[in-house]
Structure 1
Amino acid sequence: MRMEDIAALVAPDVLLPALGLAGLLLPGLIAMGAVFVAVLTAATYGKSSRVFADKLAKQISEFGMLVLGVWLLLVSARWGLWIGEIWPVSEKLRQFYHLFFDIPGHVAMLAVLTSIVTARAWRRHKKGSSVHFVLGGISCLAWMAALMFFVVGWLELVRAEGLAPKMDPLVLPDLLQNPKAWLVWAQGLFLAMALAGGGGLLFLVARRNKEDYGRDYYAWAARTLATRALSSGVIQVLWGVAAFAALSLSWAEMVLQDQSPRLPTALAALSDSSALAAMLMFLFVSLLAWLSLVPLIKSQNPMRLKGLMLGHVVIVFLSLTALVMTFHSLF
């Protein structure tokens, strides 16, 4: 990797569009991840932490609804500025917006509605019950399906090199057989949970005065969210590396090689990838995000570390920007 490659990443014509796209993706991923974090929190903690877990699940569900509203507002505003010819969008983003009016968008709307119902159920009944788990499970399934449809739709747009036709439900089983789609989907799923866990820390700070559940609860909740953000963050990076390798290598040519060693060939191809600099930046910034969570997990009073919470969210946003650059370079 050369210094020219690093300088190219921070060029205004590359950095600013990546920051804008990351800004649109961030609230959407947080809203999706909040549903999973809420369900997993309520389901995985035993009797000793049941009361705390139910309160945290309720708060994270409300956090997801708040961010979901912001995301829908941002997407609608950006679409309106484009339609009104006030702020044009790139060709790739224009193609991606069509997915909101196709099967991915329809399933996403279903996921939004199920998330609203789940959050209202937590608001009415603050103790976990089978109703919460059923509604939360349905919402999680809807979000997983929406994410997968957006991923396969995006890959089809890339393959078509133009405006792809509307999705045919009969063709979807064939599209789902693409292993690259599953790699990107898995990373997106754990990335959403990592973002929701990190962003939820700031929501705890904002809600502490209005919902005073006690110092012990907020200390436990902050450590729990930080742990969720760390574990999900590590897993999503591993999936990201796998997706980077899958999208960078020509697997068909490697399989057809006779006796030549494949590992050196793969390493050479990865080192020559146009997305290598962005990927290394993503890995470095992700490491910083993990390190910022360690003091929160170990602290007996993590709510005092508000600056570290804010710093973590900023670092995670930068890592998402680097990830956007990586996929942009791959395609």
Structure 2
Amino acid sequence: MESMSVLERLSELLPALPPGLIEAWGQLVLFAVPVCLYLAAVVLPFVVLYGLIRAHFGRRSLLERCSRQQARFANFLNWLFLVCFVGLGLSKVVPYETFPPLYQAGLYLSAGLLVGGTIIWTVVVAAWKPLRGWPVLHGFLAFLTGSSLACLPIIGLILGRVALQGTELPQENDLQTLIDLLLPSASDPFWLYFGLIHFLEVASAGALGLFWLLVRRKIDDFGRDYYVFAANWCGEWAAWGGWFSLIMAGVLCFMLQTQDLLTLENQGALLFVAALFAALLIPSVIWTVIARSATPMRHKIGMIFSLLLLIVAIANSGVLVLL
């Protein structure tokens, strides 16, 4: 008798789930890893901008050093995604040439924003010291980079919603029809999901910022005081993002249930929703502890465990669309 995979056993235990959902969840978890990395890359320029602004009001050296360290991390992530994006385009693994014109336009716009944001941020990191004498320009470039990168998940969410609904795309260049197609009504759960993704961006930036501190601890020997400050700061960002993501997920599930789009009487759906809340609640508690700790770098296991749970939470957020 052939041995059964874990996913197959789980599928048997949860027969009420839609066919193939467990397998789809497994794929979503793997996909959630690069998503988490990109969500962090979106917010890190804004984290740096906030640090630069606060540096003018106190603890200038620590804030500037932390901002610069996180800026280098963001630059690494930007180039990583740019190389992957170019690789996918050249290999034609994704048959983008067969996409409808609307999706092709979104893809090309995303590529342009990613290239532009990466180049600008590379200039920011390379010219960090000269830009210190131009704080307004420094902050503007950080804001411009973050805004450029933030457009990619927005484009993905809007076009993904259209694709999932199977809406027929307009054949004529009717601007009003296109706007009505792309922008849902104010009562649509899409806007809550939109908010959830953005708070997950903040949580991802803080969580991966903590992970980056662990990676760079022995390479960038800035002293104990710096790493206490930096870990508290990243933990604070992660905690705020985690708690607001938890609230937004609760409101979203409530709206989906009231609109009969989510049935919690289904044990399988209830399991995924409960796992989503647990995967947001536990890391939020850990990040809050780290943010208030006098020795935050001792919470290494907590930093890694909370990051893994955040990846699960991102995957389960995707499951909400499939249920």
Instruction: Return the TM-score normalized by structure 2.
Output: 0.78
* Unaligned residue ranges in structure 2 (runs of 5+): 1-11
1:64 alignment partner in structure 2: 74
Q: Which amino acid aligns with 1:106?
A: L
Deviation at 1:34, TM superposition (A): 1.6
Corresponding residue to 2:200 among 191, 195, 198: 191
- The answer to whether the 8 Å contact 2:47/2:67 transfers is yes
Q: Which amino acid aligns with 1:110?
A: L
- Please state whether the residue corresponding to 1:211 is helix, strand or coil: coil
1:221 alignment partner in structure 2: 230
* Unaligned residue ranges in structure 1 (runs of 5+): 86-93, 251-265
- 1:177-220 superposed Cα distances (whole Å, 9 cap, x missing partner): 53333322222112111101101112122223333222211110
- The answer to whether the 8 Å contact 2:231/2:297 transfers is yes
1:103 alignment partner in structure 2: 106
**Cα–Cα, structure 1 residues 236 and 138, in superposed 2: closer, same or farther, change >3 Å?**
same
1:176 alignment partner in structure 2: 183
Deviation at 1:234, TM superposition (A): 1.1
Alignment partner of 1:133 is 2:139: yes
1:325 alignment partner in structure 2: 319
- The answer to whether the 8 Å contact 1:39/1:137 transfers is yes
2:155 alignment partner in structure 1: 149
Q: Which amino acid aligns with 1:309?
A: M
Deviation at 1:82, TM superposition (A): 7.5
Q: Which amino acid aligns with 1:134?
A: F
Corresponding residue to 1:22 among 20, 32, 35: 32
* Distance in 1, Cα, partners of 2:282 & 2:276: 10
Alignment partner of 1:210 is 2:210: no
**Cα–Cα, structure 1 residues 78 and 218, in superposed 2: closer, same or farther, change >3 Å?**
same
Deviates more, 1:236-245 or 1:148-157: 236-245
1:282 alignment partner in structure 2: 276
Deviation at 1:320, TM superposition (A): 1.6
Alignment partner of 1:124 is 2:127: yes
* Distance in 2, Cα, partners of 1:104 & 1:197: 28
**Cα–Cα, structure 1 residues 119 and 15, in superposed 2: closer, same or farther, change >3 Å?**
same
Deviation at 1:130, TM superposition (A): 0.9
**Cα–Cα, structure 1 residues 293 and 204, in superposed 2: closer, same or farther, change >3 Å?**
same
- 1:263-316 superposed Cα distances (whole Å, 9 cap, x missing partner): xxx7x9653477443222100111111122233223222223322222221121
2:295 alignment partner in structure 1: 301
Alignment partner of 1:292 is 2:286: yes
- The answer to whether the 8 Å contact 2:52/2:64 transfers is yes
- The answer to whether the 8 Å contact 1:18/1:321 transfers is yes
Alignment partner of 1:233 is 2:242: yes
- Please state whether the residue corresponding to 2:218 is helix, strand or coil: coil
* Distance in 1, Cα, partners of 2:147 & 2:80: 22
Q: Which amino acid aligns with 1:304?
A: R
- The answer to whether the 8 Å contact 1:286/1:316 transfers is yes
- The answer to whether the 8 Å contact 1:58/1:123 transfers is no
**Cα–Cα, structure 1 residues 302 and 112, in superposed 2: closer, same or farther, change >3 Å?**
farther
Q: Which amino acid aligns with 1:188?
A: I
Corresponding residue to 1:316 among 287, 310, 313: 310
What is the count of residue pairs matched by the alignment? 303
2:5 alignment partner in structure 1: none
Alpha-carbon RMSD across the aligned residues, in angstroms, is 3.7
* Distance in 2, Cα, partners of 1:6 & 1:223: 44
- The answer to whether the 8 Å contact 1:151/1:184 transfers is no
* Distance in 2, Cα, partners of 1:135 & 1:166: 39
- The answer to whether the 8 Å contact 1:121/1:132 transfers is yes
Q: Which amino acid aligns with 2:53?
A: A
- The answer to whether the 8 Å contact 2:82/2:114 transfers is no
